[in-house]
Amino acid sequence: MLTGTLPFDEEHIPKLYQKIRECKYSLPPILSEPAKDLIFRMLQGDPMNRITIPEIKQHKWFNNQINLFQSIDNYKYVYGNTIEVDQNILDFMKSLDINFEGYDDEKIKSSINSRERKEFCIIYEFLECSKNKKQMNEKKLKLKSK
């Protein structure tokens, strides 16, 4: 969720399972060292070696006093300038169990652009990245089939 990517990503299912079993993943350099440490400790192959919930709650990254959007670097795309919010993504966000009470479409869009509601921004960016990745994969498949 911090980067809008999956730790284990592979189109070929057997390869995906192999990556999961072997705990082979890479962490984007945009993550802070405490975030990398927490993810590393959570994604241990042996469940007995994984960080526990109480340990997570005590972890440096979990206890930081900064907003989530400040702990990632790819937020700049959404927050840097006013953007035209994709209505399809907005509609999907509204279908999720998110508290939009008192927010119509225009106010949600404004909240994303003004950073009034950071959680809206993060969810929007995650969904937008997923949509873009899906479109790129579809384009690649079309090119391969030609």
- Cβ–Cβ < 8 Å for 27, 39: yes
| pLDDT at residue 126 in the model | 80
Angstrom distances, CA of residue 21 to CA of 8, 40, 58, 92, 125 = 10, 15, 27, 32, 29
| Identity of the residue numbered 98 | I
All domains of the chain, ordered by start, with CATH? 1-65 (1.10.510.10), 67-146 (no CATH)
- pLDDT band (50, 70, 90) for residue 73: very low
pLDDT in tens, 22-52: 888 888 777 888 888 999 999 998 889 999 9
pTM: 0.45
Q: State CA 50 to chain mean position distance.
A: 21
Handedness of CA 1, 62, 107, 94 (dihedral sign): positive
